[in-house]
Amino acid sequence: MRSALDKKELSATELTETYLENIAKTDSKIESYVTVTADIAKEQAKAAQELINSGKSSPLTGIPLAIKDNICTEGVKTTCASRMLENFIPPYNATVMDKLNAQNAVMLGKTSMDEFAMGSTTQTAFEKKTKNPYDLNRVPGGSSGGSAAAVSARLAPAALGSDTGGSIRQPSSFCGVTGLKPTYSRVSRYGLIAFASSLDQIGPIANSAEDCGYLLNAIAGFDRHDGTSANRAVPDFTSKCGQGVKGLKIALPKEFFEEGATDFVRKTVLAAAEKYKSMGAELIECSMPSLKYAVPAYFLISSAEAASNLARFDGIKYGHRSEKGSTYGELVLNSRSEGFGREVKRRIMLGNYALSSGYYDAYYGKACALRQEIRAEYNRIFETADVILTPTAPRTAFRIDENITDPKMIYYSDICTVTVNIASLPAISTTCGYDENGLPVGMSIVGKMWDEETIIGVTDTFERNFTKISAKAVK
């Protein structure tokens, strides 16, 4: 698209209009967007074209993008797919939006998600419960299901999501696209409505690893507004694309292929590993014993932080306000009871329990200790390996009418992704095969801290030798 725009083979306005038309035709089936910002997109496309005409374009000038609805956009509703924020219009932009605006990218709209990013299906959304473009009877994954589905259904060429325990990578796996979770603090969280502050990270979803690299180039970097933002130089994250994998050492932790993974997913990801071997990489078998404790540790840490972060939504300062309640306490109780959905309430209660007197050391304290052990195990693996290869999810996308209200089943669908957030590492998911129903199988490449270039390059090498199949449901 960049090449076509710069060569004047099409205009930014034509490109944007095409996507807006696709959204109008198709998104009633997919429900990937909460808000479509057609007027803003057209104005931004017109301004972008003027820059292109004057020869002053940046890499993302005129490129249409979709934005997850927990990223603040000045003057545009940001709901977190929750009744609590159904009418919230932020008075400021998230830092990533300022960075995209500085390059004159075009915002097509805000995409649906699991409420407050708590879920793996996008079915906990207050309104738009997104469907999988490969099969409208299946979930798109979550919590960035709207962003992944929009890219998969060709309703956006790329999107931003957020990843707390796999929320970029798992929906990218289910929807057959590529999603990157950067190193924690690589991208500013300022303006990202917080779920779990020590785990959250904004990242790109696109049709290729290289495109993810271009987006990361635009949004990465130090931000004085974010106290956890890393003051590190931003490299060209696409610099290793096209270089191959000869001599690269790829680790395969056996537990990731055993803990709940279906036979088909296991065989498909191992076949991808053999493909890397045929291209000159060395495969290393290894072990990560703490994986069996990762999901409980993740949900204790994330729920504890969520309970703290979501305490601000009381119906007084902002957020949904109940019409019931004659006292302050009653008003807060009713506002939160009405504003939050079932899954959010479950996690708030779990988090408050884990932090309560008498249980803190037994639950939250032990989860934090396990966090250090998980980091240490990753460090040991990286002493002999350059990257790690795992399944992204234990299975392909499940049906909406399956028992998706069973929290244990949903929580364990994140078993292959949560350790990356716990250890603050970068990881990227891409498609490596399709099951008997034509549903995508995702694999993840995990890298060392600050080494996004390598995992993007490794994934790019596989993608150049693999043909992706477009979603059937939206043809």
Asked whether the predicted pLDDT for residue 409 surpasses 90, the reply is no
For residue 191, name the pLDDT band (cuts at 50, 70, 90). Answer: very high
Instruction: Give, in degrees to the nearest 5, the angle at Cα 90 between 87 and 95.
Output: 145
pLDDT digits (tens, 9 = 90+) for 282-327: 999 999 999 999 999 999 999 999 999 999 999 998 899 999 999 9
* pLDDT value at residue 403: 65
Give me 334's structure tokens. 């009713």
Asked whether the predicted pLDDT for residue 472 surpasses 90, the reply is no
Asked whether the predicted pLDDT for residue 464 surpasses 90, the reply is yes
Residues belonging to the active site: 68, 143, 167
Give me 401's structure tokens. 């009418």
Asked whether the predicted pLDDT for residue 456 surpasses 70, the reply is yes
Q: How does DSSP assign 136-174, residue by residue?
A: TTB---SSSHHHHHHHHTTS-SEEEEEESSSTTHHHHHH
Helix/strand/coil for 17 = helix
Q: Give dist(CA 449, CA 205) in Å, integer.
A: 20
Beta strands, E only, 31-103:
33-36, 64-68
Asked if residue 69 lies in contact with residue 81, where contact means CB atoms within 8 angstroms, the answer is: yes
List, in sequence order, every residue forming a beta bridge with 181; answer none if it has no partner. 427
The residue type of 335 is S
For residue 475, name the pLDDT band (cuts at 50, 70, 90). Answer: low
* CATH class of the domain defined by 2-219: alpha beta
Cβ-based neighbours of 221, under 8 Å, separated by 6 or more: 99, 187, 188, 234
Asked if residue 310 lies in contact with residue 116, where contact means CB atoms within 8 angstroms, the answer is: yes
pLDDT digits (tens, 9 = 90+) for 47-86: 999 999 999 999 999 999 999 999 999 999 999 999 999 9
Q: Is the pTM of this model over 0.75?
A: yes
Give me 1's structure tokens. 């698209």
Of residues 115 and 403, more confidently modeled: 115
Chain centroid to CA 469: 21
* pLDDT value at residue 393: 96
* pLDDT value at residue 83: 97
Helix/strand/coil for 458 = helix
Q: Give dist(CA 179, CA 75) in Å, integer.
A: 27
pLDDT, average across residues 358-362: 89
Domain coordinates in residue numbering, the chain: 2-219
The alpha-carbon radius of gyration of the chain (Å, integer) is 21
Asked whether the predicted pLDDT for residue 268 surpasses 90, the reply is yes
Write out the H or E segment, with its range, that includes residue 283: strand 282-286
334, with CB counted inside 10 A (0-12, 13-18, 19+), is middle
Which backbone phi and psi does 49 adopt, to 5 degrees? -65, -35
Q: Give dist(CA 214, CA 236) in Å, integer.
A: 8
Asked if residue 109 lies in contact with residue 36, where contact means CB atoms within 8 angstroms, the answer is: yes
List, in sequence order, every residue forming a beta bridge with 111; answer none if it has no partner. 33, 68
For residue 402, name the pLDDT band (cuts at 50, 70, 90). Answer: confident
Give me 9's structure tokens. 């083979």
Q: Give dist(CA 402, CA 134) in Å, integer.
A: 17
Q: Give dist(CA 130, CA 30) in Å, integer.
A: 6
* pLDDT value at residue 89: 96
pLDDT digits (tens, 9 = 90+) for 130-186: 999 999 999 999 999 999 999 999 999 999 999 999 999 999 999 999 999 999 999
Listed residue (309, 348, 343, 336) closest to 84, CA to CA: 336
Average pLDDT, the chain: 96
Helix/strand/coil for 128 = coil
Q: Give dist(CA 148, CA 133) in Å, integer.
A: 9
Which backbone phi and psi does 91 adopt, to 5 degrees? -85, 5
Cβ-based neighbours of 212, under 8 Å, separated by 6 or more: 158, 178, 179, 180, 203, 204, 205, 206, 237, 428, 456
